[in-house]
Amino acid sequence: MGIPSQVGAIEWYLTDYESYGLVITCEHGGNKIPVPFRDLFFAHKALLDTHRGFDAGALAMAKALATKFAAPLVISTVSRLLVDLNRSIGHPGLHYETIRNEPIEVRQQILNHYYHPYRLYAESVVRQAIADYGRVLHLSSHSFTPVLNGKVRNADISFLYDPDRMGEVEVCKRWKAALKIYEPNLMVRRNYPYAGKDDGLTSWFRQHLSPSEYVGIELEINQKHIIKAGHHWTELRKAIVESLHVALAKPV
């Protein structure tokens, strides 16, 4: 079966996914609070189950992508309220207020046990992919709440990237076109509801790796699709995976 014509021509840096070292990460995959810190969240248990505690569906999506492409998978199931692995040290959202009010020794302990090991492992996997393939496509799996502060998010799927990096621009352009073929009724947007250049793991990698060796994209899924669960959510994951396969495949 050939590549749908709507996807268009392919550039040198998009020959096919096997020429990339594909790496999948999921920074907000769960809402677990490790035992030593559970008392700090006793009054905030309900918050852990909301979008502030974790990205619902992001872990399942990350696993589906990793399985399809036989790619390394780096995940965390520790709640972002304890420490947000997608934020830089010094960012005001690195910890929830409960943790921010703790002594610096407690916050350093959290960083040493959860933040630094995750970041170092993700970096080692990305750099190994570059060593093996010459370049890496890093996909970071996320999801977003349908309504924030009373405002409805007008997107079903979004790709976050740096518009100054042509490799990222082209991957997102092709992925969006391919996904439209599989799911024509979805609202697929780019750099919404967040900007791809905002603080995050992909932005950190861009500071240290050149555009020729690193392409970083955050996949964002509206949680309204995950809430539906069942067959709908299963089919959506499949469409996202297969459309990426099409977007990265060689034209025939």
Taking only the tens place, the pLDDT of each residue in 198-218 is: 999 999 999 999 999 999 999
The chain-wide mean pLDDT, for the chain, equals 91
Handedness of CA 224, 88, 167, 74 (dihedral sign): negative
Residues 86, 59: contact at Cβ < 8 Å? no
What secondary structure letter does DSSP report for 78?
Answer: B
pLDDT digits (tens, 9 = 90+) for 36-89: 999 999 999 999 999 999 999 999 999 999 999 999 999 999 999 999 999 999
Tokens of 30: 């769960």
Residues 45, 37: contact at Cβ < 8 Å? no
For residue 53, the SS3 value is coil
Please enumerate in sequence order all residues whose Cβ is within 8 A of that of 196, keeping only pairs 6 or more positions apart, or say none.
159, 160, 161, 162, 163, 168, 190, 202, 217, 218
Fold that domain 19-248 belongs to in CATH? Aminopeptidase (3.40.630)
Q: What is the pTM of this model?
A: 0.91
Please enumerate in sequence order all residues whose Cβ is within 8 A of that of 107, keeping only pairs 6 or more positions apart, or say none.
95, 99, 100
User: In the predicted model, is pLDDT for residue 11 greater than 90?
Assistant: no
152 bridge partner residues = 147
Give the mean pLDDT of 132-161.
96
User: In the predicted model, is pLDDT for residue 9 greater than 70?
Assistant: no
pLDDT of residue 197: 95
For residue 245, the SS3 value is helix
Which element (helix H / strand E) includes 208? helix 201-208
Residues 240, 179: contact at Cβ < 8 Å? yes
